[in-house]
Amino acid sequence: MAEDLGGMSHICGRVKWFDPAKGYGFVVSDTGGPDILLHVNVLRNFGQSSVADGAAIEIMTHRTDRGVQAVEVLSIAPPERDETLVLSDFEDLDTSLIQETPMEPARVKWFDKGKGFGFANIFGRGEDVFLHIEVLRQSGLADLQPGEAIAMRVIDGKRGRMAAEVLAWETAIATKGGQ
C-alpha cells in the first residue's frame, strides 16, 4: 500500500537489510519502486535499535533529492519463521506453553551478534538469561545493545534459563505487556 498524504506516503514492505553498526538499512515496498532508506534514529523513535532482515514493516516515507526515506515506523512484524530451524531447547516444548509464559522486563547485559548470543538480566533478579540470535531474528530483531530495555518470555532450557521470545520494551508496552 502506498498512499500519498501531503508529501508523505504510507508504505507496507519488507526490510531488505539493516546494519546497526552502519546505522541504516533499506526497505522494499510491497508495491515496488526504489529502495527506501531506514535510518537507525527513525527505528529508535519506534523503540528498537535493530530490525531483522525480511521483517514486515509499515512506515511513513518522504521523497527527498537523495531518494525516498522512512520518517516514521508504524509497525514491525517478525520475518516468517523457518520451521526447520528449531533450537534444540525448543524441540520438545509446546509452543502454546511458551506463549502462556508472561513477558518479563529485562535489560541486556551484553550481546555479540558475531558469536550469535548474549545475556540479559530480568529486573530485580541477578540471574543471567541466555539470548540466542535465532530467537532475536524470529522476534523481529537483529541485534541488541548493552543496557537496552527489553521484554522477554523466559523458559528453562536444556542449558539453563533462556529467552524464548524477545521484544523491544516499547513494543511490549504497546501490546499490553506482550500478553
Share of the chain above pLDDT 90, in %: 42
- Rounded to the nearest angstrom, the gap between the alpha carbon of residue 44 and the centroid of all alpha carbons in its chain is 11
Per the model's pLDDT, the better-predicted residue between 178 and 90 turns out to be: 90
* Span of 48-57, 111-120, 170-179 with lowest mean pLDDT: 170-179
Share of the chain above pLDDT 70, in %: 83
What's this model's pTM, rounded to 2 decimal places?
Answer: 0.66
> What does the pLDDT look like over 91-145, one tens digit per residue?
566 667 777 888 999 999 999 988 989 999 999 888 899 999 888 888 888 888 8
Answer left, alpha or beta for residue 155, where phi above 0 means left and psi between -120 and 50 means alpha: beta
> What does the pLDDT look like over 22-44, one tens digit per residue?
999 999 999 999 999 999 999 98
Q: Which residues contact 100 (CB under 8 A, 6 or more apart)?
A: none
Per the model's pLDDT, the better-predicted residue between 159 and 23 turns out to be: 23
In the chain, where do the E strands start and end? Answer: 2-5, 8-19, 24-29, 36-39, 56-64, 67-77, 103-112, 117-122, 128-132, 149-157, 160-168
Q: Which residues contact 8 (CB under 8 A, 6 or more apart)?
A: 60, 61, 62, 71
pLDDT band at 5 (very low <50, low <70, confident <90, very high): low
Residue range 75-88: average pLDDT?
66
Domains along the chain? 2-77 (2.40.50.140), 95-174 (2.40.50.140)
